[in-house]
Amino acid sequence: MIMSMIDGLERPVPVPFDWAKPFWDAANEKKLVVQHCGPCDLNIYPPKEKCNECDTTEPLGWKEVEGKG
């Protein structure tokens, strides 16, 4: 009985931060992207607001990745 009640509920949809929106947009297209810091050439996952490695003020880019996890 409880499971049938749960099945009827709508699941909440996460509201991404503006800086993480490209990650979720790509996921909706069945693509995996990671952030990329140009100054230190580091791929960053999960998405962050800034690079923790070099603390650059430059905006992080996005890079599509492939492979099996």
Q: Place 11 in a pLDDT band, splitting at 50, 70 and 90.
A: confident
Q: Rounded to 5 degrees, what are φ and ψ at 32?
A: -110, 120
Among 11, 40, 39, 16, residue whose Cα is nearest residue 28: 16
Q: What is the pTM of this model?
A: 0.69
In tens, the pLDDT along 18-46 reads: 989 999 999 999 999 999 999 999 999 99
